[in-house]
Structure 1
Amino acid sequence: MDVALRAMDARLQATLKTMGHKVLNVQQDIKQMSKSVYKTERNMDLILPHFKVSLPTELPAAFPIKDGEELKEMDQLVKSDSGVFKQIVKALVGVGGNTIDEFIRRTMPRLMKNEFAKCCSVFGKKDDKIRLKDTVIFNSVFAAVKMNFATKECTEKDVESSMRKWLQTSRDRAGRSRYGQKKRQERDNATI
């Protein structure tokens, strides 16, 4: 009987020791997560000082932008009122994404219409394309990418590359490609 109690006591002590380690691990994880949240909040304050609004903030009513004239107007508004830029960035950070491509894919449709995206490129190298590089669209997306916890390590080059891919596929999203036309026809034929 005494041996059985000792064995049971040893097992109980081993279980308690294991549970104690698990509790310590959970406490350490919580501590790391709170540090991460603190760093994210601190980074937001450094990038956008003196601006306290809880996420998500709504984009201004002018979005999504439909043409080059609206883009110029928005650029002028942002130059005259920095609060608008901060509002746009906060709203985009709230949209989020786990990768740079996902972030761009989720935020760009909120900033510009697909029809307008077909007329744009990051650098505007072709004569008929509108350059986005130095506009409110590119600058706000880049600032939001740097504030997003999952994409904060991305460089300007990464944003340019991902945005270029998104802009290049605007024709496909509009159903202008052969594949898109074929898919639309199949869908229309299936519903008849």
Structure 2
Amino acid sequence: MKRFSFFAMLSRMKYIRRWGLMRNAREENLSEHSLDTAYIAHALALLSDVDPSRAVFCALYHDCSEILTGDMPTPVKYYSPQIKESYKEIEQAAAGRLLSTLPPDLQQAYRPHFFEQDPQVLSVVKAADKLSALIKCIEEIRMGNNDFQNAKQAQLEALHQMNLPAVDFFLENCLPAYELTLDELNLGNL
């Protein structure tokens, strides 16, 4: 009987730490980040008239290739265009390799989530990914870790450059709550 390792490999996402070069007050793993990105992508898709299920699944699997490639240790902005393109090719090959660890019938069902082609879905997921990173920066700064100040500013600038109304809505109406304490969130009389 053939054994398939896809799900066992995905479970290892919890061991891959993000922000490896940064001092973290609380470490974040790839599993947490992927779930947060999927939550945000769902909202952005609904606000953008984009198929929410495609956005959620794409977000859920958007960094799975890092199981095989690892996270880029240096911010992408420091790499040359050739290195960035090469890394994209490596990520695509890793995603294909990961898909090959599924039964053949499931490979075809999962493939669109790993290799999404719709530019609107990809835009929503990219924005959700950046919002997740911004939220991590806010959390770290709130815990007194000012190492994330520059990263916060870079994420904000990138998000504004996207010119997506859904992102603007999230930044204005949802993001401020991340600055609040649990008591300040005012969940009503539970």
Q: Which fold has the larger relative contact order, with Cα–Cα distance below 8 Å and residues 6 or more apart in sequence?
A: 2
Structure number, greater radius of gyration: 1
Normalising by the residue count of structure 2, what TM-score does the alignment of the two structures yield?
Answer: 0.32
TM-score, normalising length from structure 1?
Answer: 0.32
